[in-house]
Amino acid sequence: MINPTPPAAVVEPRPTEYREQGAGRHRMEQAVEHIEDGIRNGLYLPGQRLVEAEVAANSGLGVGPIREALRLLAGEGLVEVRPYRGAVVKRLSAEEIVQIYQAAKGVVYMSLTLAAPALRDAANRERLRAAVEHVRAFEEAPITDLLRAVTHYYFVLHDIAGNHYLTLLIRRLHLGLVHREVANLHPTIDRGSVVSAYADAAEALLAGDAQRAIDIKMAYFDNYIEAIRKAGRTWTG
Protein backbone atom coordinates (compact mmCIF):
# COMPACT_ATOMS: atom_id res chain seq x y z
CA MET A 1 0.00 0.00 0.00
CA ILE A 2 1.37 3.42 -0.97
CA ASN A 3 2.07 5.75 1.91
CA PRO A 4 1.48 9.33 0.72
CA THR A 5 3.25 10.88 3.68
CA PRO A 6 6.84 11.98 2.96
CA PRO A 7 9.51 10.56 5.28
CA ALA A 8 9.89 12.50 8.50
CA ALA A 9 13.37 13.64 7.54
CA VAL A 10 12.06 15.79 4.71
CA VAL A 11 8.85 17.15 6.20
CA GLU A 12 8.57 20.84 5.30
CA PRO A 13 10.85 22.84 7.61
CA ARG A 14 9.47 25.69 9.62
CA PRO A 15 10.94 29.14 9.07
CA THR A 16 13.47 30.14 11.69
CA GLU A 17 11.44 33.16 12.75
CA TYR A 18 8.88 30.79 14.27
CA ARG A 19 11.48 28.91 16.31
CA GLU A 20 11.59 31.25 19.25
CA GLN A 21 11.91 30.11 22.82
CA GLY A 22 8.84 29.83 24.98
CA ALA A 23 6.00 27.35 25.30
CA GLY A 24 3.46 29.76 23.82
CA ARG A 25 5.45 30.25 20.64
CA HIS A 26 6.01 26.51 20.37
CA ARG A 27 2.27 25.82 20.61
CA MET A 28 1.56 28.44 17.96
CA GLU A 29 4.11 26.78 15.68
CA GLN A 30 2.38 23.44 16.26
CA ALA A 31 -0.94 25.06 15.39
CA VAL A 32 0.47 26.46 12.14
CA GLU A 33 1.82 23.03 11.21
CA HIS A 34 -1.50 21.37 12.02
CA ILE A 35 -3.47 23.75 9.80
CA GLU A 36 -0.99 23.50 6.93
CA ASP A 37 -0.91 19.71 7.19
CA GLY A 38 -4.71 19.65 7.35
CA ILE A 39 -4.98 21.63 4.12
CA ARG A 40 -2.35 19.47 2.44
CA ASN A 41 -4.06 16.25 3.54
CA GLY A 42 -7.62 17.36 2.77
CA LEU A 43 -8.84 17.75 6.34
CA TYR A 44 -9.45 21.44 5.64
CA LEU A 45 -10.60 22.21 2.10
CA PRO A 46 -10.47 25.44 0.06
CA GLY A 47 -13.43 27.60 1.05
CA GLN A 48 -14.00 25.74 4.33
CA ARG A 49 -14.60 27.78 7.47
CA LEU A 50 -12.01 27.14 10.16
CA VAL A 51 -13.91 27.22 13.45
CA GLU A 52 -11.34 27.86 16.16
CA ALA A 53 -12.88 25.43 18.65
CA GLU A 54 -13.06 22.64 16.05
CA VAL A 55 -9.49 23.18 14.87
CA ALA A 56 -8.35 23.22 18.50
CA ALA A 57 -10.12 19.91 19.14
CA ASN A 58 -8.61 18.36 16.00
CA SER A 59 -5.12 19.48 16.93
CA GLY A 60 -5.23 18.88 20.68
CA LEU A 61 -4.14 22.48 21.21
CA GLY A 62 -5.90 25.38 22.86
CA VAL A 63 -7.96 28.03 21.10
CA GLY A 64 -5.29 30.66 21.82
CA PRO A 65 -2.53 29.09 19.69
CA ILE A 66 -5.05 28.35 16.93
CA ARG A 67 -6.17 31.98 16.87
CA GLU A 68 -2.56 33.17 16.64
CA ALA A 69 -1.81 30.66 13.89
CA LEU A 70 -4.83 31.74 11.85
CA ARG A 71 -3.76 35.36 12.17
CA LEU A 72 -0.27 34.51 10.94
CA LEU A 73 -1.53 32.36 8.06
CA ALA A 74 -3.93 35.10 7.02
CA GLY A 75 -0.91 37.36 6.65
CA GLU A 76 0.75 34.73 4.48
CA GLY A 77 -2.34 34.36 2.29
CA LEU A 78 -3.18 30.78 3.24
CA VAL A 79 -6.46 31.70 4.95
CA GLU A 80 -8.81 34.68 4.74
CA VAL A 81 -10.57 36.36 7.65
CA ARG A 82 -14.09 37.32 6.56
CA PRO A 83 -16.63 39.46 8.42
CA TYR A 84 -19.15 37.35 10.35
CA ARG A 85 -17.52 34.11 9.13
CA GLY A 86 -14.10 34.17 10.72
CA ALA A 87 -11.19 32.36 9.10
CA VAL A 88 -11.72 30.48 5.84
CA VAL A 89 -9.23 28.42 3.82
CA LYS A 90 -8.39 30.65 0.88
CA ARG A 91 -9.74 29.78 -2.55
CA LEU A 92 -7.36 30.56 -5.38
CA SER A 93 -8.37 31.85 -8.79
CA ALA A 94 -6.80 30.35 -11.91
CA GLU A 95 -4.71 33.51 -12.33
CA GLU A 96 -3.45 33.29 -8.74
CA ILE A 97 -2.41 29.68 -9.37
CA VAL A 98 -0.59 30.77 -12.53
CA GLN A 99 1.26 33.50 -10.63
CA ILE A 100 2.29 31.08 -7.89
CA TYR A 101 3.66 28.62 -10.44
CA GLN A 102 5.53 31.46 -12.15
CA ALA A 103 7.18 32.26 -8.82
CA ALA A 104 7.90 28.57 -8.19
CA LYS A 105 9.52 28.35 -11.63
CA GLY A 106 12.11 30.94 -10.62
CA VAL A 107 12.84 29.22 -7.33
CA VAL A 108 13.24 25.84 -9.04
CA TYR A 109 15.62 27.34 -11.62
CA MET A 110 17.94 28.46 -8.82
CA SER A 111 17.58 25.18 -6.95
CA LEU A 112 18.58 23.15 -10.00
CA THR A 113 21.56 25.44 -10.59
CA LEU A 114 22.78 25.17 -7.00
CA ALA A 115 22.00 21.46 -6.61
CA ALA A 116 24.13 20.41 -9.59
CA PRO A 117 27.56 20.72 -7.89
CA ALA A 118 26.16 19.35 -4.62
CA LEU A 119 25.30 16.11 -6.42
CA ARG A 120 28.95 15.15 -6.47
CA ASP A 121 28.20 13.94 -2.96
CA ALA A 122 27.00 10.32 -2.97
CA ALA A 123 24.50 10.88 -0.17
CA ASN A 124 22.84 13.71 -2.07
CA ARG A 125 22.65 11.61 -5.22
CA GLU A 126 20.89 8.88 -3.28
CA ARG A 127 18.45 11.36 -1.74
CA LEU A 128 17.50 12.72 -5.16
CA ARG A 129 17.01 9.22 -6.55
CA ALA A 130 14.79 8.34 -3.58
CA ALA A 131 12.72 11.50 -4.12
CA VAL A 132 12.18 10.57 -7.78
CA GLU A 133 11.10 7.06 -6.83
CA HIS A 134 8.70 8.59 -4.33
CA VAL A 135 7.10 10.53 -7.20
CA ARG A 136 7.03 7.43 -9.43
CA ALA A 137 5.20 5.48 -6.73
CA PHE A 138 2.23 7.85 -7.05
CA GLU A 139 1.79 7.78 -10.82
CA GLU A 140 -1.46 5.80 -10.52
CA ALA A 141 -2.59 7.47 -7.29
CA PRO A 142 -5.13 10.31 -6.96
CA ILE A 143 -3.72 13.52 -8.41
CA THR A 144 -3.63 15.21 -4.99
CA ASP A 145 -1.36 12.44 -3.68
CA LEU A 146 0.92 12.68 -6.72
CA LEU A 147 1.22 16.43 -6.26
CA ARG A 148 2.06 15.94 -2.58
CA ALA A 149 4.89 13.65 -3.67
CA VAL A 150 6.03 16.40 -6.03
CA THR A 151 6.11 18.86 -3.12
CA HIS A 152 8.27 16.38 -1.20
CA TYR A 153 10.62 16.19 -4.21
CA TYR A 154 11.04 19.96 -4.19
CA PHE A 155 11.94 20.11 -0.51
CA VAL A 156 14.60 17.45 -1.08
CA LEU A 157 15.94 19.36 -4.09
CA HIS A 158 16.04 22.68 -2.21
CA ASP A 159 17.78 21.03 0.73
CA ILE A 160 20.42 19.55 -1.59
CA ALA A 161 20.88 23.00 -3.14
CA GLY A 162 21.92 24.17 0.31
CA ASN A 163 20.18 27.55 0.24
CA HIS A 164 17.90 27.94 3.24
CA TYR A 165 16.11 30.90 1.71
CA LEU A 166 14.99 28.93 -1.32
CA THR A 167 13.30 26.53 1.08
CA LEU A 168 11.59 29.42 2.83
CA LEU A 169 10.45 30.92 -0.47
CA ILE A 170 8.93 27.71 -1.81
CA ARG A 171 7.23 27.05 1.51
CA ARG A 172 5.67 30.51 1.50
CA LEU A 173 4.01 29.67 -1.82
CA HIS A 174 1.86 27.12 0.06
CA LEU A 175 1.92 24.48 -2.66
CA GLY A 176 -0.29 22.20 -0.57
CA LEU A 177 -3.19 24.62 -1.05
CA VAL A 178 -2.27 25.21 -4.70
CA HIS A 179 -2.27 21.50 -5.44
CA ARG A 180 -5.71 21.08 -3.88
CA GLU A 181 -7.04 23.77 -6.18
CA VAL A 182 -5.24 22.35 -9.22
CA ALA A 183 -6.91 18.99 -8.61
CA ASN A 184 -10.27 20.76 -8.95
CA LEU A 185 -9.25 23.07 -11.77
CA HIS A 186 -7.42 20.56 -13.94
CA PRO A 187 -8.43 17.01 -12.84
CA THR A 188 -7.34 15.42 -16.14
CA ILE A 189 -3.63 16.14 -15.64
CA ASP A 190 -1.51 13.56 -17.46
CA ARG A 191 0.18 11.87 -14.51
CA GLY A 192 2.70 10.15 -16.77
CA SER A 193 3.97 13.46 -18.14
CA VAL A 194 4.29 14.84 -14.60
CA VAL A 195 6.35 11.85 -13.47
CA SER A 196 8.49 11.91 -16.63
CA ALA A 197 9.35 15.58 -16.20
CA TYR A 198 10.66 15.03 -12.68
CA ALA A 199 12.43 11.78 -13.51
CA ASP A 200 14.06 13.15 -16.68
CA ALA A 201 15.24 16.33 -14.96
CA ALA A 202 16.72 14.32 -12.09
CA GLU A 203 18.49 11.94 -14.49
CA ALA A 204 20.02 14.91 -16.31
CA LEU A 205 21.22 16.39 -13.02
CA LEU A 206 22.71 13.08 -11.94
CA ALA A 207 24.47 12.81 -15.31
CA GLY A 208 26.05 16.22 -14.76
CA ASP A 209 23.94 18.03 -17.35
CA ALA A 210 22.41 20.83 -15.30
CA GLN A 211 21.37 22.84 -18.36
CA ARG A 212 19.31 19.97 -19.72
CA ALA A 213 17.64 19.56 -16.32
CA ILE A 214 16.82 23.27 -16.31
CA ASP A 215 15.46 23.14 -19.87
CA ILE A 216 13.21 20.18 -18.99
CA LYS A 217 11.80 21.83 -15.87
CA MET A 218 11.33 25.27 -17.41
CA ALA A 219 9.44 23.76 -20.36
CA TYR A 220 7.38 21.70 -17.92
CA PHE A 221 6.40 24.81 -15.96
CA ASP A 222 5.53 26.70 -19.14
CA ASN A 223 3.29 23.87 -20.39
CA TYR A 224 1.69 23.45 -16.97
CA ILE A 225 0.98 27.16 -16.66
CA GLU A 226 -0.63 27.23 -20.10
CA ALA A 227 -2.81 24.22 -19.20
CA ILE A 228 -3.96 25.99 -16.02
CA ARG A 229 -4.79 29.12 -18.01
CA LYS A 230 -6.86 27.12 -20.50
CA ALA A 231 -8.69 25.24 -17.75
CA GLY A 232 -9.29 28.50 -15.90
CA ARG A 233 -11.31 30.00 -18.74
CA THR A 234 -14.21 27.69 -17.91
CA TRP A 235 -13.55 27.20 -14.18
CA THR A 236 -15.97 28.70 -11.68
CA GLY A 237 -13.91 27.85 -8.57
The Cα 145–Cα 2 span in angstroms is: 10
Report the domain count for the chain.
2
Q: List the one residue out of 154, 148, 155, 164 whose CA is nearest residue 198.
A: 154
By the 8 A CB rule, do 100 and 173 touch?
A: yes
The per-residue pLDDT for range 171-212, each reduced to its tens digit, is: 888 887 888 788 776 667 788 989 999 999 999 999 999 999
- Give how far Cα 43 sits from Cα of 1, 63, 106, 176, 209, Å: 21, 18, 30, 12, 40
Same domain, 127 and 222: yes
Q: List the one residue out of 64, 69, 81 whose CA is nearest residue 38.
A: 69
The per-residue pLDDT for range 33-81, each reduced to its tens digit, is: 899 888 877 889 889 999 999 999 999 999 999 999 999 999 988 899 8
> What pTM does this model have?
0.78
DSSP 92: P
The reported pLDDT for the residue numbered 186 is 67
Of 89, 124, 149, which residue is a domain's last? 89
The residue segments making up the domain with residue 38 are: 8-89
The reported pLDDT for the residue numbered 56 is 95
Q: List the one residue out of 66, 40, 41, 47 whose CA is nearest residue 55.
A: 66
Residue 104 forms part of a structural domain? yes
The reported pLDDT for the residue numbered 8 is 38
Same domain, 41 and 111: no
CA 195 to chain centroid, in Å, comes to 16
Of 56, 89, 122, which residue is a domain's last? 89
Q: Which amino acid is at 211?
A: Q
Residue 3 forms part of a structural domain? no
pLDDT at residue 24 tops 80: no
DSSP state letters, 96-125: HHHHHHHHHHHHHHHHHHHHHHHTTSHHHH
The per-residue pLDDT for range 76-110, each reduced to its tens digit, is: 888 998 888 889 999 988 899 999 999 999 999 99
* Percentages of the chain per state (helix, strand, coil), in multiples of 5: 70, 5, 25
DSSP 236: -
Residue 2 forms part of a structural domain? no
